[in-house]
Structures are given as structure tokens and as C-alpha cells.
Amino acid sequence: MQSITLGEVEIIRVVEWEGAFGPARRIVPDAGIEVWKANEDLLGPDFWEQDSDTWRGALQTWVLRSGGRTVLVDTGVGNGRERPSTPMFHHRNTDFLGQLAQAGVRPEDVDVVVNTHLHADHIGWNTVGHGPGEWVPAFPNATYLMPAADHAHLDPAGGRGLRVDDVALFEDSVVPVVRAGQAVLWEGEHRIDDNLVLEAAPGHTPGSSVLRLASGGERAVFVGDLLHSPVQIAEPSCNSCFCEDAAGAAATRHRILGRAADERELVVPAHFGGPGAFEVRREASRFAVRNWASYSA
């Protein structure tokens, strides 16, 4: 397993899947082919297969050991889910819990689960199957931190028209946790401990958030889906196809990257393959990678 230690916090990377996902222009439609080609040194080969014009990414969870507790940042897609609109997520079967075990994490060891937002590929392992059509929290002793705004946005009781997949993910990955009394629906800011604080960062979804780490003079920010590709570092106004509020997402991206550059935060997106994380510097109205993360085995 790959790990980094920042101050007193150990960060362990657990990759559920990494590879080619789909057409680059579909994932980040705001960035034309000329933008990708202008940044090919930044993008290839870990983030873009130029010959097929395919976006490469990862599904992964970040395990943080902080203040004597174990914190999971996002929980991937999950097994056995009904996700007909996204074939890659539909009825998956991976050994994610086995991978966590290899990292020294048993389900009962997890104290906190952070869902940076409530999209399907960030909440799937919140629960596990417990008989036909029945789901229970995967981490029985954990508090699950969910953005209140996303919960309200996805709740079918709100009367908003929802996709079939959205209804399913709410029922199988959110409701069982709430029903078990393990969910905290937070808004604005939520401090986990002396090292970790959640902050609202809306745009990608109404409740999208970032998790900031500050320990021993070292800093990181886990940005969820603020970025899907490094092309958005070079062109931060470019949104992914999954951003629900285009203007809000772009504004949040500029703000969070600017602060990361000024405060030398390690930026940790949810879906970057390759090195997975980076430090950023300002470059006029855009940004550039200062250096990529390096890990110990």
C-alpha cells in the first residue's frame, strides 16, 4: 500500500480500480482537443491515452490515521448495486474490503467515514448487502459525515425529479446509514479533530465539500470531484460533465486551488490515477503542478 505521513497524520491510498474510463471530451467537455494537446506532457500517460483520446482515472479511498482514529475519505462504488445508467458501476464485484484489510483496516476499526459528496462512486461501500434488497452500514462503529445539502438534494421526499440511479443510491447507500443512527448531516464547517476539518465547497453538487488537513506545519486538502483531470489545473474554468452547477464549480475550483497554492497544501483529488496527488503553484490566472506526490511502500 502507498502511504504518506504529514505531521502526525498517516495517509494510506487504497485503489479500488484504475484505468481507462471513457472519452476525454465527454468527461471534461469544456476542454477542447487543443487544450488537451497543449497539456499532453502533464496528462500522459497516467491521465490521458492520446491515441484513443481516452480519460484515465481511478476509484479510490484515502485512509487517514489521525488522533488515534481511523478516517475513510469516500468509499467508492460498492458491490451489487443497481446502477443501470452507469454500466461500469452496475453490479460490480470487487475485493475492496480485502484491500482495506491489507492496509490494516477492518470494518470495525473505522471511526469516521467522510463522504465528500453523495455521488454513486463516493458512497457505495457505505453499506454492504444483508440479504436480498437489504443493506446495512459496512463500518458498524463509524460516524458517517454526509453533507446535509446533498442529502436534501437526493431525498425523493423532496419531490425533485431524480434519475433511477439516484433513487437507488440514496436507498442502498444513504438511508441504511441514517436509519442506523450513524449519519451526521453537517453544513458549513465540521471539525473532526485537531488535524482535520470539513468545509463546504459547493458547485459539483450542492453539498460538495473538501477535507483540510493541517498537522505539524504540513497541509493537504482532499478535494473530491473538484478535479477529474489535470487539464483542470491548467484550465480551472473547465468543468467535468458531472458538475451540477457549472459557474459554482468553476468558482470553487479557482478558490480552492488558489488557497492550496498560497498555503502549500497537497491537493488530493478523488479520481486521479498515477501519482494521485500534487502540490500546485499559480501561473497567471491558471495553475500548474509544482510537484507530484511521492509515497513510501
The predicted-structure confidence for 29-80, as pLDDT tens digits, reads as follows 999 999 999 999 999 999 999 999 999 999 999 999 999 999 999 999 999 9
Quote the pLDDT of residue 285. Answer: 83
CB count within 10 Å of CB 286 equals 13
Quote the pLDDT of residue 296. Answer: 84
Which positions of the chain have pLDDT values less than 50?
none
Contact criterion met (CB below 8 Å) for 54 and 249: no
Quote the pLDDT of residue 1. Answer: 78
pTM of the predicted model over 0.85: yes
Quote the pLDDT of residue 185. Answer: 98
Give the list of residues 6+ apart from residue 17 with CB closer than 8 angstroms, or none.
58, 59, 77, 94
Residue 67, all three cell numbers: 488522533
The predicted-structure confidence for 152-179, as pLDDT tens digits, reads as follows 999 999 877 789 999 999 999 999 999 9
Q: Which helix (H) or strand (E) covers residue 235, if one does?
A: none
Quote the pLDDT of residue 212. Answer: 98
